Structure 1
């Protein structure tokens, strides 16, 4: 949250300096010529004797050259060169934001003997802003000058003003407040003859360079002195050196301005890169998913047309680790017993439950069910205990809240007919998808998890066989030492270990299991926090796969790179990108920002439609997708941020479980399939 707040602050500061936030427009001009509240010279200051204002004129024969705005890397150096060539001095009324952006030019102006004045921080019309905003405009400029050149100045030219006659109405009210605060207002002379002494005003631009050059050429033979405002008044320079504390404070303002601008510019590029990566990921997923569909169809047609390839009918041991699963354990076990597979051994490992999980499982009257009780040791420990009691060479591992389709086990183990395959990932579906949170997780499972698994299958770099439904060759499990307790994502850790041991890991979409998703934001956070943190642990543990060969190298260079880029780095950057996108919508081109957002939403909706079609799901939940982008996705991003911080700090988490309600049956019971 601190990162988001800092990002928002930087964007606001940058936008303020670039006139994107709270821009101003010029105040109305005086209605009648000569209606200014005073008459006299162009330099207006406080009269210490009367407490009123006093207007002064430049000495005869003096031309005070003044330039508004900048400094600018395009025209300011050219102008300085021109002034040096003609041995002329000038007063530069600088804008604070530009001074902070080009501190070297501010120092050059000072070092070459010119005078510096204030033109406010953002070229804001002080007559149309609040007193607080006007004070900020002036103080920010003073801080910027202190931080860039170590000077302060009382000279002030109000933006959008020229002669003293233009100082009327609200402009004069703002100017008078500034005078009372110690500023000296500098306007310009109108048609006054240069021989009588004048203040010439130029707007900082390339045109100012041209006009100054013309001035010098036409007045080459005139006996005029081109100088600063203070020298034109016959006084020493109004600039003064500031103290060390003021310099430090000014340097902080300058660094903040420069940093905020750099951050905003970087975010512009980051937004483009993140958008390109997001689009690339979606295109990759959809393209590879299509390849996966064709492969699956080819395999199925071969199975149906080749009598020499009978289905795999070996007996299966199913391990069900359970910790306080009384709400759904009976439904889970009975769905396994209803399997159409020839023989299934069900091993329920009660991991020190404090509820009736053990009693409910023990009461199921079927000799194929074995219930083992152990002190609480965590999920990996429970799986290893079940593995020790498994009778058969094919092992299926599931969660204690999972409900299997009757054909799920039979379909799940078929890829194990290939001796190169060591593990198979099934197709997990959300059972409790009635509420908005359930719908969002349902879309996440279909669009994200299952599309990812299709891609990993084709690219032979499957990083995770989900704990809800996975089949394993017992030989492969024993070869890697069983289920490791090193990480919280024991399923990911195990899958990566199998890949590094040379086994293929594949995805079987027809093996469907229904799981109970978290029903509250708190439960969802705890679950995803554990998943994400455990995945980071597993990635770090198996990082050497990046430089290994064979299946391990595919996992490392394809799978781990994908996880690092799209499930770690991109989510870490995404909140900042969203903040920048919101900023663009509020303060920049709202139409363009809206079109970009609609474009990304349309692409995601298209991907969601395709993913739902592949999984033979209804399109009804699509209405919640825009809300998922605004709310759910942000939550998942923050989970990644917290997980990365936890990993960097080296903290460890325990086996966390969510409160079960047995609602995994909700959607499963409504599916139009035979049971």
Structure 2
């Protein structure tokens, strides 16, 4: 029988935190303990957490990043498993029950489920919902079958505590601790597992300001991990290295793909409308089948899923801009000692004050 402690790092999360804690209280297999790290919030985060009967930890000063807040709580964890949940993420009632069995395999170090968006109100949320449906029902299952998932999502990952302690806790050396830990454990010969039936609903960017900050953090963190781990991935986890290299190739070739209709118009006698139609048709052929499968699997309205497809191109454009920025800064300028790279953790949500800190060893 596994035991599990939940760590919820929270900075100014009084609005989103109640739903998170209610979802934890409603688990079919309840956690043994819930720890909320009130990281120097200036709102009622601590009071809200206390009203839900959980243990509230208050650092003496602002720690400034999710990994540091999680590490502050880690010494309080005495169970064999640790579940890290973002303060704006809601878990399905059977999330813990669904993930626990994979840890019967002693080789499993970390596991996480499927992430979906909690809200689809704005253009950016609709675009992100499409990205999640595609990624978690196309890329992630393929990676899982190859026993080499790219990342166990940090908003809802379960960790084997002994492995986490032996590693030194949640990694603080990169801006995205979830990918860093997932790659590190696989390089060390441990397993990371994707549990598709476990569902977590995340609060994703509702406006462009928040989206830009989140995507820049994700893309910079990805490139930091490439810089840190790629050589060892090639030697010790070659299939994971393949996914990483394919992701880099996609970033490099994306501008060419987006420019294809214009190139066809400039180099052939095809009218612009026909060139764009060919391009759009190819896009739909590549993206629609996984989305329809995802809609069927998650019992979502097909029409709504299809209606959100145009929105994904807005988020893709933002992704591309910051992916190229990350390539230039983190993989070119940082090795040449011309930049420090991203060393500031900033969540960026409109209703949350920015959290800033320098990374350890940054």
- Are residues 386 and 611 of structure 1, via their aligned partners in 2, closer, same or farther at CA, if it must alter by over 3 Å? same
Measured against aligned partners, the alpha-carbon deviations of 1:255-311 in whole angstroms (never above 9, x if no partner) come to: xxxxxxxxxxxxxxxxxxxxxxxxxxxxxxxxxxxxxxxxxxxxxxxxxxxxxxxxx
1:624 correspondence with 2:335: no
CA distance in 2, matches of 1:492, 1:420: 18
Partner of 2:321, secondary structure, is helix
Partner of 1:502, secondary structure, is coil
- Are residues 335 and 314 of structure 1, via their aligned partners in 2, closer, same or farther at CA, if it must alter by over 3 Å? same
Alpha-carbon contact 2:262-2:275 (below 8 Å) kept: no
Aligned to 2:58: 373
Aligned to 1:159: none
Alignment of 1:373-522 (within 5 A): 373-374=58-59, 375-377=61-63, 378-522=65-209
Partner of 1:327, secondary structure, is coil
CA distance in 2, matches of 1:627, 1:446: 13
1:335 correspondence with 2:20: no
Aligned to 1:344: 32
Alpha-carbon contact 2:37-2:58 (below 8 Å) kept: yes
- Are residues 583 and 342 of structure 1, via their aligned partners in 2, closer, same or farther at CA, if it must alter by over 3 Å? closer
The alpha carbon displacement at 1:522 in A equals 1.6
Aligned to 1:572: 252
CA distance in 2, matches of 1:434, 1:593: 28
CA distance in 2, matches of 1:361, 1:660: 21
CA distance in 2, matches of 1:601, 1:639: 24
Alpha-carbon contact 2:24-2:91 (below 8 Å) kept: yes
1:656 correspondence with 2:346: yes
Q: Give the TM-score of the pair, scaled to structure 1.
A: 0.48
Partner of 1:653, secondary structure, is coil
- Are residues 544 and 658 of structure 1, via their aligned partners in 2, closer, same or farther at CA, if it must alter by over 3 Å? same
Higher relative contact order (CA 8 A, sep 6+): 2
- Are residues 333 and 605 of structure 1, via their aligned partners in 2, closer, same or farther at CA, if it must alter by over 3 Å? same
The alpha carbon displacement at 1:461 in A equals 1.1
CA distance in 1, matches of 2:205, 2:275: 37
CA distance in 2, matches of 1:645, 1:461: 27
1:582 correspondence with 2:262: yes
The alpha carbon displacement at 1:592 in A equals 5.2
CA distance in 1, matches of 2:351, 2:28: 27
CA distance in 1, matches of 2:301, 2:343: 37
Alignment of 1:106-121 (within 5 A): none
Partner of 1:655, secondary structure, is coil
Unaligned runs of 5+ in 2: 335-340, 353-362
The alpha carbon displacement at 1:391 in A equals 2.4
Aligned to 2:289: 606
Aligned to 2:337: none
Alpha-carbon contact 1:338-1:406 (below 8 Å) kept: yes
Measured against aligned partners, the alpha-carbon deviations of 1:409-432 in whole angstroms (never above 9, x if no partner) come to: 111222111112111111111001
CA distance in 1, matches of 2:278, 2:234: 43
- Are residues 391 and 585 of structure 1, via their aligned partners in 2, closer, same or farther at CA, if it must alter by over 3 Å? same
Out of 292, 299, 320, which is 1:637 matched to?
Answer: 320
Name whichever of 608-617 and 502-511 sits farther off: 608-617
CA distance in 2, matches of 1:433, 1:627: 11
Aligned to 1:363: 51
Alpha-carbon contact 1:325-1:660 (below 8 Å) kept: no
The alpha carbon displacement at 1:499 in A equals 1.1
CA distance in 1, matches of 2:30, 2:95: 12
CA distance in 1, matches of 2:280, 2:351: 37
Alpha-carbon contact 1:412-1:470 (below 8 Å) kept: no
CA distance in 1, matches of 2:293, 2:226: 30
